[in-house]
Structure 1
Amino acid sequence: MTALQKKFPVVEVDLEKLRHNIDEVVKRCNEKDIMVAGVVKGFNGIVEATRQFQESNCSFIASSRLEHLEEAKNAGMQGPFMVLRVPMLSEIPDLVKFADISLNSELEVIKEINKECVQQEKEHSILLMADLGDLREGFWDKETLVETAVFIESNLDNVTLAGIGTNLGCYGSINPTVENMNQLIEIAELIEAKIGRQLSIISGGGTTSLPLVLDGTMPERINHLRIGEGISLGKDLQDLWGVDMSYLYPDVFTVKAEIIELKNKPSYPIGEIFVDCFGNKGEYIDRGIRKRALLGLGKLDFAMSDMLIPRKKGIEVLGGSSDHLIVDIEECTDQLAVGDILEFDVRYATMMYLTASKYVRIACV
């Protein structure tokens, strides 16, 4: 515990705007009979923000990190809690303790979950993951997936097969389509024919699958999505997919950083250019002497400077080092001074890194 009276940098979270975004997305999904697992991983499970999901009509609170679910549970939230990353064998005791449902792709792990459930006198639900081409987690061989489903249904008393799911767009950049959603449904129906009952969940992916819901093309049997960025920011769908997300607040998260140096300097480095502190060779444009500001925030906190978006006009992010953000303010008409605070919007990556940094204060407003 630090005794520092830290004010900046800070990430401010507007809880009212976040709740608005949750309600708007969940309403649109529920109108199509689709449950929403609200994913809190992107902002690292900030408890006050997670509570907005708990108090909404989200069907699950979801994260890939058990720590986020533990914090929510310790804060009195009831879930149900969903784990998104397929479990490690070493974390199964904690998985059973803190989660109600998880995504799985290894029968060995599922058997161990069942054993741990017996020890803890609990039950646990699972979704079997199908890899439809994005090449992250999931069964590639569909016959093996069906056989695994039958084994779980017939042999494991403390693990319930709730359904199946897929992930698209996180590694292989594969776009969710009606075609690959129908592939998932076909696999579900093969399982249902073998086990003699209908699966309760067919989870069609995450934020990248939301456009199919919004344009009315999502196949009917897809009844579950795992949505994070599409709620907390909504910028990727707007900017990359061209989906109208104007009903959401894009500024739920605000980064505030303090100017620590303000000077006129050349825009092109002087001397023999080699590599920066991360081993990368930068690209620079000679624009003459320009006014620039140095801020007390660095790549240690946000990793990707090009995903910080200045709110004030006339400010351009040039780059950064571990502990500094460098911005061009030549075109800014405001009279800035050392000690002034600049505000930035974030994208998914910078939201994730900033809210994980112990050097950045979090303030829920």
Structure 2
Amino acid sequence: MNKNKYPKLVVDLKKLRHNIDHVLIKCQDQGIEVAGVIKGCTGLPECANQFALAGCRYIATSRLEQIEEARNFGVQSDFMMIRIPMLSEAADVVRLAEVSLNSEMKVLEALNHQAGLQDRRHKVILMVDLGDLREGYWDKEELLQAALRVENELYNLELAGIGTNLGCYGAIAATPEKLNELVECVEMIEEKIGRELEFVSGGSTTSYPRVLEGNMPRRINQLRIGEAIILAKDLQDLWGFDMSDMHQDVFTLQAEVIEVKEKPSYPVGQIEFDAFGNHPAFEDQGVHKRAIIGLGKVDFAFADMLLPRDEDIKILGASSDHTILDVQNCKHDYKVGDVVEFDLCYATIVYATNSQNVDVVYI
């Protein structure tokens, strides 16, 4: 193995475990179980294993191949499928996951059929759309009828709970008032079926502020948390929460400098379209020292969301395989062969961990 292969993503498993333990303790103190979400780091099995070792009863992701890879790696945990299943993957959902989130009766019927064929009992959580307008039942009567059907007719399924998702599409805040709407839904269902549901799954990292502020509605007893553990940045950068007791450098993206030259800051010639069909705008700042690193948009997608650890570096932009840095004002004299380090946010880590060009190493 070439230890000097770049680009490279360095994963600090000790820091990751610290973050997992910290969030689990905070949630458990308020009677909330954490399903550890691994989709943000593309289900890296070494990371998934840290969730299992920390005691997460469920490891959650949106991709079945990530569950299968984790199982093949030897991760000892139950798994939760958190993207509502495709009808075509019902058999694999039952085979690989102990529980899934659902919002379509036709899929529930298919899961029930497959669970029967596989001699399994599969848990389902019915999703409720509280206004974010992604997945989930919008009509409360349809939700109730689905719950009654699962409870009384789909004998290979277990109606384990209801859940919601907030903040991923419609950017709706997971306020106590909004989450109380979920509590009202679960109480409506429990009254009709005559028993208490196991899970009231109150969302993801966007619902974690209710834990930090101590105002989570009492019936919410599960959260599906990924970003607040693996990066712990969004709650600080977007909402202003103090996350200083968490490691925000679990992941370090490293890239090698492949060119350093002084060049004009404004392109010379007729400006048309870049490699992605955009018509870019530039500011003429004269001749500046620029460095190119061997890393591009196919590896991280959003150049403006890369976070150089050298705060003097300015990211000018990127094409598919090149990222251009302004190093004019850097204290370090960058040369070809130097390695530049970056922190990641959620939007960039999902690409970096999914890129075949980025070598992943663990410390």
**Interval containing the TM-score (normalised by the shorter chain):** over 0.9
Assess if the C-alpha contact under 8 Å between 1:267 and 1:290 holds in 2.
Answer: yes
Q: Which amino acid aligns with 1:195?
A: I
Superposed counterparts of 1:106-255, under 5 Å: 106-255=104-253
The letter for the 1-side match of 2:64 is L
Query: How far does the alpha carbon of each residue in 1:284-335 deviate from its partner, in whole angstroms, 9 at most, with x for none?
Result: 1111110010000000111001111110131111110000011000111112
Alignment match of 1:351 (pick from 339, 349, 354): 349
1:333 equivalent in structure 2: 331
Q: Deviations over 1:34-65 (max 9, x none)?
A: 00010000001111111000101323100000
Distance 1:310 1:160, change over 3 A: same
1:6 touches 1:361 (CA, 8 Å); kept in 2?
Answer: no
How much has 1:283 moved relative to structure 2? 2.0
Tell me how large the CA RMSD over aligned residues is.
Answer: 1.1
Q: 1:133-182 CA deviation, whole Å, 9 max, x = no partner?
A: 01100001011101110111001111000000000111111111111100
Separation (CA, whole Å) in 2 of partners of 1:50 and 1:57: 11
1:63 aligned onto 2:41: no
Distance 1:132 1:274 in 2: 44
Contact 2:45 2:75 in 1 (8 A): no
SS at match of 2:280: coil
2:330 is paired with a residue whose SS is coil
CA contact (8 A) 2:291 2:334 kept: no
Q: How far apart, CA to CA, are the structure 2 residues paired with 1:242 and 1:53?
A: 26
Q: Which one-letter code corresponds to 1:120 in the other structure?
A: Q
Q: Which whole-Å deviations, capped at 9, do the CAs of 1:58-102 have from their partners, x for residues lacking one?
A: 231000001111011111223210000000011111111110000
* Distance across 1 between alignment mates of 2:76 and 2:154: 26
Q: Contact between 2:56 and 2:77, CA under 8 Å: does it hold in 1?
A: no
Distance in structure 2 (CA, Å) of the matches to 1:241 and 1:56: 27
Give 1:5 deviation, angstroms.
8.3
Question: Would the aligned equivalents of 1:205 and 1:225 in 2 still touch at CA under 8 Å?
Answer: yes
Residue in 1 aligned with 2:266? Answer: 268
Return the alpha-carbon distance in structure 1 between the equivalents of residues 147 and 56 of structure 2: 27
Q: Distance in 1 between matches of 2:40 and 2:112?
A: 29
Q: Quick one: distance in 1 between partners of 2:240 and 2:311? A: 24
Of 216-225 and 268-277, more deviation after overlay is shown by 268-277
- What is the Cα deviation at residue 341 of structure 1? 0.4
Count of residues in Structure 1 that have an aligned counterpart in Structure 2? 363
Aligned equivalents of 2:54, 2:98: Cα separation in 1: 18
Give the percent of matched residue pairs that are identical in Structure 1 and Structure 2.
Answer: 54
| Residue 270 of structure 1, CA deviation | 1.1
**Unaligned 5+ residue runs, structure 1?**
none
Q: 2:358 aligns with which of 354, 357, 360?
A: 360
Letter in 1 for 2:297: K
CA deviation vs aligned residue, 1:190-214 (integer Å, no higher than 9, x gap): 0000000001100110000000111
Residues 40, 50 of structure 1: 8 Å contact kept: yes
Which SS does the other structure have where 2:54 is aligned?
A: coil
Tell me, in whole angstroms, the C-alpha distance in 2 between the residues paired with 1:12 and 1:306.
21
Aligned equivalents of 2:14, 2:83: Cα separation in 1: 29
Deviates more, 1:135-144 or 1:305-314: 305-314
- 1:4 CA displacement: 8.5
